[in-house]
């Protein structure tokens, strides 16, 4: 009996003395583990004759319960103490700048932005927006639009077809938005004034073609509509869209199965380094196709060509976006890279309106307050501060955070990341005795830097982030042991 009392006292004393989780675990294992002292007693119990088991059983089991309870209560006490210690040492800096809300951080894709812009312009001229399915029939995509049976566009080579149905017909992914005009003519009475922005598909993939792309087409059907109306609509559209006072337009004869006559429109422009300036210069850029709706198309859609005339046009939204906002690579549009989007994207709450100047005043991704979006400039080209001023401000702001850690040599170099987005590269050189900055020191330093830039109106660095170099980047001998600088 005294044996078990002593054992109990010893275990309970060890539990009370355990200063952390690891020590407590050691005590637990010594008592209740596979070869623990209490486990041995419990095993021994099974070997006793029934008489003795009756008296020893409750004693030993009681001992086990008390030890288990003591372990649990010590575990809780240690947890409380650890939390208490953290609360006493950690603090919240309520002066840190507030992080942006999700609605502020999110970005609108340039294609959505441009679609909204052109919708606003045409809506102002009295156009409605029509939509239709991406999966279409041969009839609506080709036949009703006066494509001959053997037209090359109907080929497997150019069109995505679904497997044939039992009756031999095959659905397809629409190759243009024109089937929506067909649906509109079949279901509404003239006068018709609609635009149809939407996804379109062709079996094409290279630097300037993606298998899915975006088109906007327009259609006007009325008594007495003519090409003069079309010319005015397009001129007003391009002036509003590219935000310029005049545009030079050139109409060249062309061919489409669904229009007669058919025309292509070129816009006058000048290339100024990386910028495309419309309305000046002596170069011409092909921008859209258009024409008077072919009498066969009108007939196919239940309209009498002797009573109604119409005109239509079509152009690529992706290319409009590239031209207006200076985005050189079409493929990046569909790669879903959030870094690309944060560079070129648009604030979700800035809805384009004609009154608001369409592309908005604050030009977050496009060059600050004074930029003209039609100049296809990148944000990085619009400078509030030069590189030297940026480096000086960053150095002055970061020093108070990093010097106390012994990181007194800080280099700040404005540059571009691999996506060509404006970036700040900060290098803090380690010396013997300098400390690694903890996360909250870095956060405070970056918060201060963010605020410092905003205070002087420098908006090129909306996202400041830090990362620790991965271990693989610290190869043996790659850094000078004295200064921490990369050794050459």
Q: Does the protein bind ligand 2NL through residue 258 (CB under 6 A)?
A: yes
Q: Does the protein bind ligand 2NL through residue 291 (CB under 6 A)?
A: yes
Q: Does the protein bind ligand 2NL through residue 217 (CB under 6 A)?
A: yes
Q: Does the protein bind ligand 2NL through residue 293 (CB under 6 A)?
A: yes
Q: Does the protein bind ligand 2NL through residue 240 (CB under 6 A)?
A: no
Residue with Cβ nearer ligand 2NL (139 or 392): 139
Binding residue for ligand 2NL, selected from 113, 115, 159, 178, defined by CB under 6 A: 178
Q: Does the protein bind ligand 2NL through residue 327 (CB under 6 A)?
A: no
Measured in residues, the chain has a length of 488
Binding residue for ligand 2NL, selected from 238, 256, 269, 278, defined by CB under 6 A: 256
Q: Does the protein bind ligand 2NL through residue 70 (CB under 6 A)?
A: no
Q: Does the protein bind ligand 2NL through residue 391 (CB under 6 A)?
A: no
Q: What is the DSSP letter of 391?
A: H
Residue with Cβ nearer ligand 2NL (175 or 377): 175
Rounded Cα distance, 452 and 412, in Å:
14
- Helix (H, G, I), strand (E, B), or coil: what is residue 339? helix
b/e per residue, 359-393, with b = 16+ CB within 10 A?
Answer: bbeebbbbbbeebbbbbbbbbbbbeebeeeebbeb
Q: Cα angle vertex 303, ends 289, 115, to 5°? A: 40
Q: Among 71-79, 121-129, 226-234, 307-315, which window interacts with ligand 2NL (CB under 6 A)? A: 307-315
Rounded Cα distance, 110 and 189, in Å:
34
Rounded Cα distance, 18 and 222, in Å:
91
Q: Taking the complex as a whole, how short is the minimal distance between the CB of residue 171 and ligand 2NL, in angstroms? A: 19
Q: Are 291 and 311 in contact (CB under 8 A)?
A: yes
Q: Does the protein bind ligand 2NL through residue 247 (CB under 6 A)?
A: no
Q: Does the protein bind ligand 2NL through residue 132 (CB under 6 A)?
A: no
Question: Distance between the two ends of the chain, CA-based, in angstroms?
Answer: 75
Q: Does the protein bind ligand 2NL through residue 359 (CB under 6 A)?
A: no
Q: Does the protein bind ligand 2NL through residue 312 (CB under 6 A)?
A: yes
Binding residue for ligand 2NL, selected from 289, 326, 345, 360, defined by CB under 6 A: 289
Q: Does the protein bind ligand 2NL through residue 182 (CB under 6 A)?
A: yes
Q: Does the protein bind ligand 2NL through residue 31 (CB under 6 A)?
A: no
Q: What is the DSSP letter of 280?
A: S
Tell me which residue of 425, 457, 319, 324 sits closest to 378, measured CA to CA: 324
Q: Cα angle vertex 214, ends 226, 286, to 5°? A: 55
Q: How many other CB atoms sit within 10 Å of the CB of residue 141? A: 23
Q: Taking the complex as a whole, how short is the minimal distance between the CB of residue 464 and ligand 2NL, in angstroms? A: 42
Q: Which residues bind ligand 2NL (CB under 6 A)?
A: 145, 178, 181-182, 215, 217, 219, 256, 258-259, 289-291, 293, 297, 312-316
């Amino acid at each position: 009996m005294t044996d078990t009392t002593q054992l109990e006292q010893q275990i309970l004393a060890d539990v009370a003395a355990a200063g952390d989780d690891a020590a407590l675990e050691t005590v637990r294992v010594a008592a209740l583990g596979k070869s623990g002292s209490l486990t041995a007693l419990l095993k021994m119990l099974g070997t006793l004759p029934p008489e003795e088991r009756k008296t020893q059983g409750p004693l030993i089991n009681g001992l086990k319960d008390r030890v288990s309870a003591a372990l649990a209560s010590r575990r809780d006490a240690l947890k409380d103490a650890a939390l208490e210690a953290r609360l006493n040492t950690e603090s919240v800096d309520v002066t840190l700048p507030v992080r942006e809300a999700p609605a502020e951080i999110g970005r609108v894709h340039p294609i959505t932005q441009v679609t909204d812009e052109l919708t606003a312009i045409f809506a102002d001229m009295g156009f409605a927006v029509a939509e239709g399915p991406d999966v279409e029939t041969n009839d609506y995509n080709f036949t009703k639009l006066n494509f001959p049976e053997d037209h090359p566009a109907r080929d497997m080579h150019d069109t995505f077809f679904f497997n044939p149905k039992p009756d031999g017909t095959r659905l397809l992914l629409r190759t243009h938005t024109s089937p929506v005009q067909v649906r509109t003519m079949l279901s509404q009475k003239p006068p018709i004034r609609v635009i149809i922005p939407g996804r379109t598909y062709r079996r094409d993939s290279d630097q300037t073609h993606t298998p899915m792309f975006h088109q906007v087409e327009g259609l006007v059907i009325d008594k007495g509509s003519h090409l003069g109306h079309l010319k005015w609509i397009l001129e007003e559209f391009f002036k509003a869209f590219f935000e310029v006072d005049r545009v030079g337009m050139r109409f060249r004869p062309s061919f489409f199965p669904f229009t007669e006559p058919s025309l292509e429109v070129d816009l006058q422009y000048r290339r100024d380094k990386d910028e495309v300036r419309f309305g000046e210069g002596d170069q011409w850029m092909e921008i859209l196709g258009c024409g008077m709706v072919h009498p066969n198309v009108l007939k196919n859609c239940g309209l009498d060509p002797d009573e109604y005339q119409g005109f239509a046009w079509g152009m690529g939204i992706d290319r409009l976006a590239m031209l207006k906002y200076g985005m050189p690579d079409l493929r990046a549009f569909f790669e879903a890279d959030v870094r690309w989007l944060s560079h070129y994207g648009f604030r979700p709450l800035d809805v384009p309106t004609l009154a608001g100047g369409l592309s908005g005043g604050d030009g977050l991704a496009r060059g600050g307050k004074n930029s003209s979006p039609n100049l296809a400039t990148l944000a990085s080209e619009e400078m509030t501060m030069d590189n030297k001023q940026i480096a000086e401000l960053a150095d002055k702001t970061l020093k108070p955070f990093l010097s106390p850690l012994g990181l007194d040599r800080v280099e700040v170099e404005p540059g571009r990341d691999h996506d060509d987005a404006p970036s700040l590269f900060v290098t803090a050189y380690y010396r013997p005795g300098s400390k690694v900055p903890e996360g909250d020191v870095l956060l405070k330093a970056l918060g201060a830097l963010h605020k410092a830039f905003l205070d002087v109106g420098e908006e090129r660095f909306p996202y400041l982030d830090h990362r620790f170099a991965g271990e693989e980047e610290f190869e043996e001998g790659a850094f000078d042991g004295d200064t921490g600088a990369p050794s050459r």
